[in-house]
Amino acid sequence: MTRRVKVEIEGTVQGVGFRPTVYRYARRHSLNGLVQNHTGGVVIDVEGADASIQAFLSELERQPPAQASIENMRVKDLVPCNYAGFEIEPSAEDGPKQLSIPPDLALCGDCRAEFFDSDNRRYRYPFINCTNCGPRYSIIYDPPYDRPRTSMANFSMCGTCRSEYTDPMDRRFDAQPNACFECGPALALLDSEGNALDGDPMKRTVELLRGGKIGIVKGLGGYHLCCLATDEEVVGRLRARKKRPHKAFAVMFATVDEVNEHCVLSEHAEAELTSATAPIVILPRRAHSTMADNVSPDTADIGAFLSYTPLHALLLQELSPLIMTSANLTDEPIAKERVEAGALLSSVGDFLLDHDRPIVRRCDDSVMRISPKNRIVMRRSRGLVPQALKLPFSGPVVLACGGDLKNTFALAHADRIILSPYIGDLSEYQTYAAFTDTVRDFKRIFQQQPEVIAYDLHPDYVSTRYAEENQNGMTGVRVQHHHAHIASCMAEHGLTGDVIGVALDGTGYGPDHTLWGGEFLHADYRDFERVAHLSPYPLPGGEAAVQNPLRMAFSVLVTDFGEEAAYRMFGSRLSKQETDTLSRMIAQGLNTFSTSSAGRIFDAVSALLGLCDGEVTYEGQAAVRLEQSAWRDDTADSYRFELVRAHDRVLLSLKDMFSGVCRDMERGLECGRIAAMVHNTLAEAVTEVCVQIRGRSDTDRVVLSGGVFQNALLLEKVQTRLQERGLRVYAHRVVPPNDGGISLGQAAIAAARWYADSNGRKEER
Ligand code: ZN
Ligand code: ZN
Ligand code: FE
């Protein structure tokens, strides 16, 4: 007896070869009907023997295409209608546009094999791709995802490519960027003046790089600066030209084996590295690695990734490892247009390896740190964006503007939320322009008109001003920075109800007009209570003290032990004039803010230990050096700390820790031991505060967030101790603990308040 069912599937099912897979499975089980893309999913209408339908559905669930994920599958019986065969229907042209745009995917195994097969017609073709791999997000002008709406529109397919493209049994069926030597994009090489160079562009590129030149190479979501990673001299030149003296450069490798030669590669890290996302993974460097030391002068780690496009594979096959770092000037957005890349010629790069497939949207490489316990995403961008995340509840359409540093914004709709790629530091004009462009672009491609706009409480954030100037009838919701951090981690884990939120962070604006950043919040999505925080210190000169950690160290010593002790400890490390000015600023409160920031505590310790004299050259540098220097064995002890009850909350005083650090320095104890003890102290202090809070609230769930939790050593110590005391611990795995994650938290909070309001419960502050 014939049965007919309609199957509605939601999840990541578009642009990942889902329909051809359905087609193949249906044919295999002798079923007729059709499959079609639909808003947010795929619809299958299929008929045949009941047992065959069952087998078909279970095969689809068990073995969906590699890059697909099925979130929801609804099956409904229909009256049979005698379909004559099985067909793939084109995407519906009218109806509402698809909310689903797939991320860019790294070169797949099948394409890699063809790419290296001298008998294949795409042997060494730098733009080979198929339904399972290749560019997506970075080439789509407009959804739905079809070739005429991509930057491949101007390449018309040759006969062979077209027959692959139209054959449902072919791996390249409906692969929008499908191309070959005959019909697709091609490489071009330009010299430092922008003049075309003759000869095979790839061959010449390899020669130039081998000769110690710095190249600009067009990638997937932008251009990279590229040079030999084993040549100290050229790496130094790149640092000087890019004005980036210390921050680590990412290194691209040809193969996993090669990564393994230079880095310690765990099973977990390898899985990330070889995934379709192909992020930069920060790995411990092996002692015998021949990598130039100035690739990552501050750490014993290497940010490694694999050649993720065929163009990279071609290059790296000849020459590996290579530095591949975003082509831009510090803090500006990654270059994506030829004119932008051209502007970097002669000043930064010596030549340009270009091609003629336009990049529609910018997308930096994603970055993560992997340990057996944790997956710390430091930048969520290429390969992950614009994959939707799920909110634990349904809300209105929300635009969440994020923060000013490491900016991402988010667009939420019902229970789905899409985070933007990494945008960067909004105080830089070019970056701010990229922010406003990308917001406009997201509203257009995802067809959403926000009803609510969420943004930070900080009155001077550029993102705050943007939100206030562009409100246009939207309801504005202001969200405290650390509440947003905690809510982002809650949302990621689908937590509802209340939690103990620990936000260890740089700085964020508090409703009391001081700068917060070492916060213990009893929080749910709608609201929070600040139940404990670090004892505040003065931040003399505000941003100036963030730039120069010695100023912070001096401030801590003056506050805890008086001027005399501070002068004695500092000796000649700050000039007399500087210390005098600082003392006066602190004493009189001149241009000095009070801060409970945990990040500034790490700065102060790092400076005290002599790990950073002078200005930092990137955000978090002092803390990175402190974490690096800390001994990894468990022999280190910890310092004392004090919990002081003040009014309605608890203050965590680290005065005893700082006096211990000073004493141990005078005793000549090794820096690494002191650094380890400081990590232990903070982990114990955080745990003790959480245990006290549990006594007063009903929850045993602790949520960890804030930029300080990029410190893997601290994170693990905190997790272990909290678990030992019977608390349940949640750390970020999907979005960054740094400010790249707060747009998610802002959106969750705005949606929750909107929901509460619309249900008539007026408990808002
Ligand atoms: Zn492929
Ligand atoms: Zn072709
Ligand atoms: Fe923050």
Average pLDDT along the chain, 765 residues, taken 10 residues at a time: 92 83 93 87 94 95 88 93 90 55 94 98 98 94 87 97 94 94 98 94 98 97 98 98 95 98 97 97 97 97 98 97 92 91 93 97 97 95 94 94 98 94 95 97 94 97 97 95 98 97 97 97 97 97 94 96 88 86 94 96 97 93 97 91 93 98 95 98 98 91 98 98 98 98 98 83 42
Please name which ligand lies nearest the alpha carbon of 67: 1
Q: What is the CA radius of gyration of the chain?
A: 27
Residue 114 within a domain: no
Both 279 and 339 in one domain: the answer is: yes
Please name which ligand lies nearest the alpha carbon of 113: 1
Both 411 and 342 in one domain: the answer is: no
What pLDDT, on the 0 to 100 scale, is given for residue 331?
78
How remote is the CA of residue 442 from the centroid of ligand 1, in Å? 27
Please name which ligand lies nearest the alpha carbon of 66: 1
How remote is the CA of residue 301 from the centroid of ligand 1, in Å? 31
What pLDDT, on the 0 to 100 scale, is given for residue 69?
85
How remote is the CA of residue 218 from the centroid of ligand 2, in Å? 21
Both 400 and 256 in one domain: the answer is: no
Residue 711 belongs to a domain with what CATH number? Answer: 3.30.420.560
Residue 54 belongs to a domain with what CATH number? Answer: 3.30.70.100
How remote is the CA of residue 384 from the centroid of ligand 2, in Å? 29
Both 443 and 360 in one domain: the answer is: no
Residue 561 within a domain: no
Nearest partner of 530 among 650, 695, 699, judged by Cα = 650
Amino acid at 688: E
Range 328-348 burial, b when 16+ CB lie within 10 A, else e: bbeebbbbbebebbbebbeeb
160 vs 147: CA distance, rounded Å: 16
Torsion, Cα 755 13 399 730, to 10 degrees, reads 70
How remote is the CA of residue 690 from the centroid of ligand 3, in Å? 20
Burial of 108 per CB tally in 10 Å (0-12, 13-18, 19+): buried
Both 442 and 337 in one domain: the answer is: no
Task: Provide CB contacts within 8 A for 88, sequence distance 6+.
Answer: 19, 20, 22, 23, 34, 35, 36, 168, 174
Q: How many domains does the chain have?
A: 3
Nearest partner of 549 among 474, 630, 615, judged by Cα = 615
How remote is the CA of residue 485 from the centroid of ligand 3, in Å? 7
Residue 743 · residue 409 · CB < 8 Å: yes
- The DSSP annotation for 250-278 comes to EEEES-HHHHHHHB---HHHHHHHTSSS-
Quote the DSSP letter at residue 134: B
Range 200-215 burial, b when 16+ CB lie within 10 A, else e: ebbebbbebbeeebbb
Both 455 and 325 in one domain: the answer is: no
How remote is the CA of residue 458 from the centroid of ligand 1, in Å? 46
How remote is the CA of residue 564 from the centroid of ligand 3, in Å? 34
Of 302, 335, 368, the position where a domain reaches its end is: 368
Residue 745 within a domain: yes
127 vs 493: CA distance, rounded Å: 38
Amino acid at 730: Y
What pLDDT, on the 0 to 100 scale, is given for residue 764?
41
What pLDDT, on the 0 to 100 scale, is given for residue 615?
94
Three-state SS at 342: helix
Please name which ligand lies nearest the alpha carbon of 152: 2
Torsion, Cα 219 206 340 297, to 10 degrees, reads 80
Structure tokens, 462: 């550029």
Question: Are β-strands 301-306 and 250-253 bridged in parallel, bridged antiparallel, or unpaired?
Answer: parallel
Residue 427 within a domain: yes
What pLDDT, on the 0 to 100 scale, is given for residue 97?
47
Query: Residue 305 is part of which domain span?
Result: 187-368
Both 469 and 430 in one domain: the answer is: yes
Both 355 and 427 in one domain: the answer is: no
Please name which ligand lies nearest the alpha carbon of 175: 1
How remote is the CA of residue 488 from the centroid of ligand 3, in Å? 11
**What's the distance, Cα to Cα, between the start and end of the chain in Å?**
63
Residue 505 within a domain: yes
Note the Cα 764 to chain centre separation in Å.
Answer: 32
Residue 203 within a domain: yes
Give the number of other Cβ atoms within 10 Å of residue 63's Cβ: 11
Both 408 and 465 in one domain: the answer is: yes
| Residue 469, phi then psi, degrees to nearest 5 | -80, -20
Residue 661 within a domain: no
750 vs 526: CA distance, rounded Å: 8
Please name which ligand lies nearest the alpha carbon of 740: 3
Both 235 and 342 in one domain: the answer is: yes
Residue 104 · residue 221 · CB < 8 Å: yes
Residue 323 within a domain: yes
Both 223 and 358 in one domain: the answer is: yes
Both 299 and 406 in one domain: the answer is: no
